[in-house]
Chains A and B, each alone.
Chain A
Amino acid sequence: MYDTICAISTSSGIGAISIVRITGPEAIDIVDKVFSGTLKDKETHTIHYGHIIDNGNVIDECLVMLMRGPKTYTTEDTVEINCHGGISTTGKILEILINNGARLAEPGEFTKRAFLNGRINLLEAESVNDLIVAKTNAARTLAINNVGGKLTKKIIELREKIVKILSNIEVNIDYPEYTDELEVTHELMNKYLSEITKDLDNLVSGAKNGRLIKNGVNIAIIGKPNVGKSSILNYLLDEDKAIVTNIPGTTRDIVEGTITLNGVALNFIDTAGIRETDDIVEKIGVDKSKNIAKNADIIIYVLNNNEEISSEELETMGNLDSKKTIIFVNKSDLEQKINLGNISREIILGNTVSDNGLDNLLVAIKNKLNLDSIVNKDMSYLSNIREITLVNKANDALNSAKKSLEEELPIDVIEIDLKRAWEYLGEIIGDAYEDELVDNIFSNFCLGK
């Protein structure tokens, strides 16, 4: 019997719906822990409506497909969670499943299971290998090319710190007669452990921001026609042509363009569907605004300085989450006809005509995201669940080391935990090798007959 694995089955990026799939002996139990409904007593191959809930918070509304083995892809019990796309929602759901006992699947592992369980044939099996290889190579390229590079560097530094301590301990063990070498005492170990824990904490706390940074921030610019939404977009994109991209974003929405601000990608969500219609207010209505608001990290609600504010606008504005909304009054270069007294919230004034017309808007975005603090902390960011899981494991190992230190167990026993932490961190960067420690001992210490 295998353990229970899960993964996002749909390709990340475009698409309104994503599927998170979980398979294995505990698949149904684990989903029941996080699903508002109960699958345990339900018939196989049935669909259930409900919510994924984490610590009492509703994460997403979804349809859950229950498929009991053996009539499933892997022949094991399988549950597919159809949720709303976007890396943040699906990623969160995946994380919740992992926290409840599932393991993140290796590339191609579902197919591998299907094959090993005799579900698919030889011909299909050939493609399994291709899949495993292709996905791994893709992941490898990804790791080299993106933000992960900085993370890798941080982890390498942390591992170097740890391996120095480890090899010092090993030298104390293997060459006890060399009393000139520094002895790692309990006191010293205590100091080392707090330092490493601190470094690791920084990696973990950076994790949430990390996803923001890796996948970017989704910004929707909404408002009545002719308030200047397109001009604002074009102005912002023009400002930094070199980094304007047209690649599909990582959310279910299509990104119109991306700019980077303080190293963070700002993805402007295409509201083309909305703009096509003549009478936007009628078409989208309050509900549609809500919908967009739900999926964007930041909403820029645009008003026209040169026009009186309408009752629809007031209503829409009232329904937007003030935490993530910036009210932007455009066309400040024209005569002010808007009655700003009607708006009880903070507003930003600006225009797309003068040179620095949108500076205030950019500052407002930065403030909303707290970007300055992110960058100033000079953190590296953990960006996916696999990494976070491994860092958590490393953290557990460190905690166990601390406990043993309190219990005054010998250093060489405490070292076992420290070594585990070091190994988990090695798994994140993937280039750990078996004799690393031994090699390090001999490059850093001078001993022998």
Chain B
Amino acid sequence: MYDCLVVGGGHAGIEACHIAAKLGKKTLLVTSNFKNVGDMPCNPSIGGTAKGIIVREVDALGGLMGHIADTSQIQIKMLNNSKGPAVRSLRAQADKITYPKNMQEALKNTPNLTIKEAMIEDLIVEDNKTRGVITSTGEKIYSKTVILTTGTYLKGNILIGSENTPSGPHGEARSNYLSDKLKEYGLKIIRLKTGTPQRIKKDSIDFSVLKREDGDAKYWTFSFDYPPSYKIEDQVPCYLVYTNATTHQIIRDNLEKSAMYGGYATGVGPRYCPSIEDKIVRFADKERHQLFLEPESLYYDDYYLQGFSTSMPRDVQEKMVHSLRGLENAVITKYAYAIEYDAIDPLQINASLENKILENLFTAGQINGTSGYEEAAGQGIIAGINASLKIDEKDPLILKRSDAYIGVLIDDLVTKGTIEPYRMLTSRAEFRLILRHDNADLRLRDYAYKIGTINEEQYKRLQKKKQEIESLIKYLKENHISKNNETLKIFSEFNKDAPTSNISFYELLKRPEINLDFISKLISIDYSDEIKEQVEIMVKYEGYIKKAYKEVEKLEKLESKVIPDDINYDNVHNLASEARQKLSKVRPKTIAQASRISGVNPVDISVLSVYLKKEYNHE
């Protein structure tokens, strides 16, 4: 009998089983093939805009992804470094051999965690309570909680042109029955689609005609706990490729041969990840599209051709790839394919990621309708934490939209549902000025410490960081510029206007052209870069950050208005019928969540508040 049983060793499953084991739970990870644990079947990168912030959040909560990405990356850069602090995010090219290897190593060394190879085809369910799983050989494994992180394995179908092969990624065996079983237990199953582009053999690429893109010349890590372990000069470059008129013509001529346009596929594909044929059709007047060649690993020769995913047959893919400048003689080592798979409608899960119909069953990652390694990891760690808290009969950890991108992600899923694989975007977060990559530890480590997923030492470091931020701000407020010849000289030396009065350094820092590096010429500042960065952001964007917190406060007032679990929306008169349907389906926990459901209007919220007051004497 296990406490927590995780099905699937992808990015969600890893974080789920690791964190449950860390919390002292007797944990079992069941995977069809341990060699594939931590695998990256699509792009060879971790992070990216918004996603990089999720990685940091996972790290802040005590997860693995950040540190393992750091130890296996072959190029890293800070995206949007020239833009505002709210939208900066790390992206790394992760080595597809090293990353899974390091991840598997980390799991092997996790106490309380057992690993087993098997294919799961059914759950053990009694009175809508999940008691364990049944393997393809009929073996029953009992556990207090079960976390499904099955990725694209549920009835996976690989599509290349008109070919349709039942398969998980990499030709791995798929799970044939589990999604049918879930349907029998009353869950609604949806069918989704995603795709991956070609891999190209390195020595067949003419790099000399391609634009090279290097990593940053500054050291970065995802992890808050470990220093960088790479050398800047060892980073491997990526390359830029463009499509051209010939490419577009080939695609247009062969459109009916593609799985998606030929009508061979039924799953809904994501808009942010369109196949190249989609791009050509929908943006017919665009003369070229940008593509990227990214190295997959130092240990084999494949380059990943980002932006060129397609469900065309192989012979057309050959023509398409060879029409690209620099790839005229390219050898395709793996053709692009689309994969369709079963997922559950996320409106059936709670914000804790526990299922609404089957108790003790948690789900995370692609099975919940998301896309991306980082989105999976973010849910995985929450599922693992909440399964553990459930066993201890404690309240689940539900991150708010103002706490973390992970909070936005889960709230979106369980409130709005999804019809396409959900990808995190900066624009989905209304409080992005608060949800920055640089303060993920400040936002989340108090929760982590309270739950027990970070240790004493990590917590002390957090406290120290908070104190130093406070003391630097105080120092800047208390000290004023003294306008003597020496200071005036420094201002003119750096071509800046000296202030007309003896303002505080805090006030001075608010000016756009002033930073702490400059101020350190006027007054000694003995703080780390990390602290200085925090303070600069807090001072320079004070007005906007304050406004954001005001909004958060308003939202929290509504979040505190709880809707009782037993509410029957049929009894609430005057709700618009669409609102009634949506509310009955989503069953929001709070008035705030209700107000985010599409189709629920302010009037309906008003009607609902009045009803709650009447029936439950709700404030």
Residue interface bits B430-452, CB-to-A below 8 A is 1, else 0:
00110000000000000000000
Establish whether residues A178 and B427, one from each chain, have CB atoms under 8 Å apart when the complex forms. Answer: no
* A415–B273 alpha-carbon span in the complex (Å): 25
Q: Given A435-B416, A446-B282 in contact, is the A409-B512 Cβ separation under 8 Å?
A: yes
Establish whether residues A115 and B197, one from each chain, have CB atoms under 8 Å apart when the complex forms. Answer: no
Q: Which B residue sits closest to A433, measured CB to CB? A: B598
Q: Which of A129, A175, A177, A448 contacts B607 (CB 8 A)?
A: A129
A168 to chain B, nearest CB (A): 11
Residue interface bits B242-277, CB-to-A below 8 A is 1, else 0:
000000000000000000000000000011111000
* A175–B289 alpha-carbon span in the complex (Å): 13
* A43–B311 alpha-carbon span in the complex (Å): 80
Residue interface bits A74-118, CB-to-B below 8 A is 1, else 0:
000000000000000000000000000000001110001001100
| A-B interface, 4 closest residue pairs, ranked by CB to CB distance from nearest | A410-B84, A442-B271, A129-B574, A408-B512
A276 at the interface (CB under 8 A from B): no
Establish whether residues A116 and B83, one from each chain, have CB atoms under 8 Å apart when the complex forms. Answer: no
Q: Which B residue sits closest to A179, measured CB to CB? A: B290
Task: Give the chain A neighbours of B213 by CB distance below 8 A.
Answer: 177
Q: Which of A411, A441, A446 contacts B289 (CB 8 A)?
A: A446
A214 to chain B, nearest CB (A): 23
* A350–B292 alpha-carbon span in the complex (Å): 80
Establish whether residues A173 and B83, one from each chain, have CB atoms under 8 Å apart when the complex forms. Answer: yes
* A51–B609 alpha-carbon span in the complex (Å): 38
Establish whether residues B425 and A174, one from each chain, have CB atoms under 8 Å apart when the complex forms. Answer: yes
Q: Which of A107, A125, A132, A174 contacts B614 (CB 8 A)?
A: A125
Establish whether residues B84 and A411, one from each chain, have CB atoms under 8 Å apart when the complex forms. Answer: yes
17 A-B pairs (CB sep. < 8 Å): A125-B610, A129-B607, A133-B574, A170-B425, A170-B427, A173-B83, A174-B49, A178-B290, A407-B512, A410-B84, A410-B87, A433-B598, A441-B427, A442-B271, A446-B283, A448-B273, A449-B196
Kindly identify, within residues 69 to 97 of chain B, every residue whose CB is under 8 Å from any CB belonging to chain A: 79-80, 83-87
B502 at the interface (CB under 8 A from A): no
Establish whether residues A446 and B286, one from each chain, have CB atoms under 8 Å apart when the complex forms. Answer: yes
Q: Which B residue sits closest to A413, measured CB to CB? A: B84
Q: Which B residue sits closest to A444, measured CB to CB? A: B283
B126 to chain A, nearest CB (A): 39
Residue interface bits A411-428, CB-to-B below 8 A is 1, else 0:
111001000000000000
Task: Give the chain A neighbours of B279 by CB distance below 8 A.
Answer: 446
Residue interface bits B186-221, CB-to-A below 8 A is 1, else 0:
000000000011000000000000000100000000
Establish whether residues A174 and B426, one from each chain, have CB atoms under 8 Å apart when the complex forms. Answer: yes
Task: Give the chain A neighbours of B130 by CB distance below 8 A.
Answer: none
Listed in ascending order, the chain A residues whose CB lies under 8 Å from chain B are: 106-108, 112, 115-116, 122, 125-126, 128-130, 132-133, 136, 167, 170, 172-180, 404, 407-413, 416, 433-435, 437-438, 441-442, 446-449
* A199–B596 alpha-carbon span in the complex (Å): 30
Q: Given A115-B613, A438-B428 in contact, is the A132-B607 Cβ separation under 8 Å?
A: yes
Task: Give the chain A neighbours of B426 by CB distance below 8 A.
Answer: 170, 173-174
Establish whether residues B83 and A106, one from each chain, have CB atoms under 8 Å apart when the complex forms. Answer: no
Q: Which B residue sits closest to A137, measured CB to CB? A: B603
Q: Given A170-B426, A174-B50, A413-B544 in contact, is the A448-B272 Cβ separation under 8 Å?
A: yes
Establish whether residues A448 and B307, one from each chain, have CB atoms under 8 Å apart when the complex forms. Answer: yes
Task: Give the chain A neighbours of B540 by CB distance below 8 A.
Answer: 409
B306 at the interface (CB under 8 A from A): yes
Kindly identify, within residues 397 to 454 of chain B, every residue whose CB is under 8 Å from any CB belonging to chain A: 416, 425-428, 432-433
Task: Give the chain B neighbours of A413 by CB distance below 8 A.
Answer: 84, 86, 433, 541, 544
Of the listed residues B49, B272, B512, the one surrounded by the most CB atoms of chain A closer than 10 A to its CB is B272
Task: Give the chain B neighbours of A176 by CB distance below 8 A.
Answer: 49, 79-80, 83
A433 to chain B, nearest CB (A): 6
Q: Which B residue sits closest to A108, measured CB to CB? A: B606
Task: Give the chain A neighbours of B270 by CB distance below 8 A.
Answer: 448
* A404–B547 alpha-carbon span in the complex (Å): 14
Of the listed residues A130, A178, A179, A180, the one surrounded by the most CB atoms of chain B closer than 10 A to its CB is A180
Q: Given A116-B613, A413-B433 in contact, is the A449-B197 Cβ separation under 8 Å?
A: yes
Establish whether residues B272 and A442, one from each chain, have CB atoms under 8 Å apart when the complex forms. Answer: yes
A173-B87, A409-B544, A412-B432 known; 4 other A-B pairs, CB under 8 Å?
A: A125-B614, A438-B428, A446-B282, A449-B273
Task: Give the chain B neighbours of A126 by CB distance below 8 A.
Answer: 573
B101 at the interface (CB under 8 A from A): no
Q: Which A residue sits closest to B576, measured CB to CB? A: A133
A353 to chain B, nearest CB (A): 56
A88 to chain B, nearest CB (A): 28
B171 at the interface (CB under 8 A from A): no
Task: Give the chain A neighbours of B614 by CB distance below 8 A.
Answer: 115, 122, 125
B43 at the interface (CB under 8 A from A): yes
B501 to chain A, nearest CB (A): 19
Task: Give the chain B neighbours of A128 by CB distance below 8 A.
Answer: 610
Establish whether residues B84 and A412, one from each chain, have CB atoms under 8 Å apart when the complex forms. Answer: yes
Q: Given A408-B512, A412-B86, A449-B306 in contact, is the A112-B610 Cβ separation under 8 Å?
A: yes
B480 at the interface (CB under 8 A from A): no
Establish whether residues A174 and B427, one from each chain, have CB atoms under 8 Å apart when the complex forms. Answer: yes
Establish whether residues A136 and B272, one from each chain, have CB atoms under 8 Å apart when the complex forms. Answer: no
B162 to chain A, nearest CB (A): 23
Task: Give the chain A neighbours of B138 by CB distance below 8 A.
Answer: none
* A413–B547 alpha-carbon span in the complex (Å): 12
Task: Give the chain A neighbours of B167 by CB distance below 8 A.
Answer: none
* A143–B550 alpha-carbon span in the complex (Å): 32
Kindly identify, within residues 586 to 619 of chain B, every residue whose CB is under 8 Å from any CB belonging to chain A: 596, 598, 602-603, 606-607, 609-611, 613-614
* A412–B428 alpha-carbon span in the complex (Å): 14
Task: Give the chain A neighbours of B598 by CB distance below 8 A.
Answer: 433-435
Residue interface bits B348-383, CB-to-A below 8 A is 1, else 0:
000000000000000000000000000000000000
B443 to chain A, nearest CB (A): 19
* A411–B512 alpha-carbon span in the complex (Å): 13
* A449–B289 alpha-carbon span in the complex (Å): 11
B152 at the interface (CB under 8 A from A): no
* A220–B80 alpha-carbon span in the complex (Å): 66
* A408–B83 alpha-carbon span in the complex (Å): 11
* A408–B544 alpha-carbon span in the complex (Å): 14
Establish whether residues A136 and B603, one from each chain, have CB atoms under 8 Å apart when the complex forms. Answer: yes
B92 to chain A, nearest CB (A): 14
* A437–B574 alpha-carbon span in the complex (Å): 30
Q: Which B residue sits closest to A109, measured CB to CB? A: B606
* A235–B88 alpha-carbon span in the complex (Å): 72
B104 at the interface (CB under 8 A from A): no
* A349–B598 alpha-carbon span in the complex (Å): 62
Establish whether residues A115 and B610, one from each chain, have CB atoms under 8 Å apart when the complex forms. Answer: yes
Q: Which of B289, B427, B544, B547 contacts A437 (CB 8 A)?
A: B427
Of the listed residues B196, B540, B573, B603, the one surrounded by the most CB atoms of chain A closer than 10 A to its CB is B603
Kindly identify, within residues 286 to 302 of chain B, every residue whose CB is under 8 Å from any CB belonging to chain A: 286, 288-290, 292
B309 at the interface (CB under 8 A from A): yes
Establish whether residues A416 and B433, one from each chain, have CB atoms under 8 Å apart when the complex forms. Answer: yes
Task: Give the chain B neighbours of A446 by CB distance below 8 A.
Answer: 274, 279, 282-283, 286, 289
Task: Give the chain A neighbours of B307 by CB distance below 8 A.
Answer: 448-449
* A116–B151 alpha-carbon span in the complex (Å): 48
Q: Which A residue sits closest to B545, measured CB to CB? A: A413
Kindly identify, within residues 28 to 85 of chain B, every residue whose CB is under 8 Å from any CB belonging to chain A: 42-43, 49-50, 79-80, 83-85
Task: Give the chain A neighbours of B432 by CB distance below 8 A.
Answer: 412
B273 to chain A, nearest CB (A): 4
Task: Give the chain B neighbours of A447 by CB distance below 8 A.
Answer: 272
Task: Give the chain A neighbours of B306 by CB distance below 8 A.
Answer: 449
Task: Give the chain A neighbours of B283 by CB distance below 8 A.
Answer: 446
Q: Given A129-B573, A435-B598, A442-B272 in contact, is the A449-B43 Cβ separation under 8 Å?
A: yes
Q: Which B residue sits closest to A408, measured CB to CB? A: B512
Establish whether residues B573 and A411, one from each chain, have CB atoms under 8 Å apart when the complex forms. Answer: no
A256 to chain B, nearest CB (A): 37
* A117–B383 alpha-carbon span in the complex (Å): 41
* A191–B91 alpha-carbon span in the complex (Å): 33
Establish whether residues B574 and A448, one from each chain, have CB atoms under 8 Å apart when the complex forms. Answer: no
Establish whether residues A106 and B606, one from each chain, have CB atoms under 8 Å apart when the complex forms. Answer: yes
* A202–B197 alpha-carbon span in the complex (Å): 50
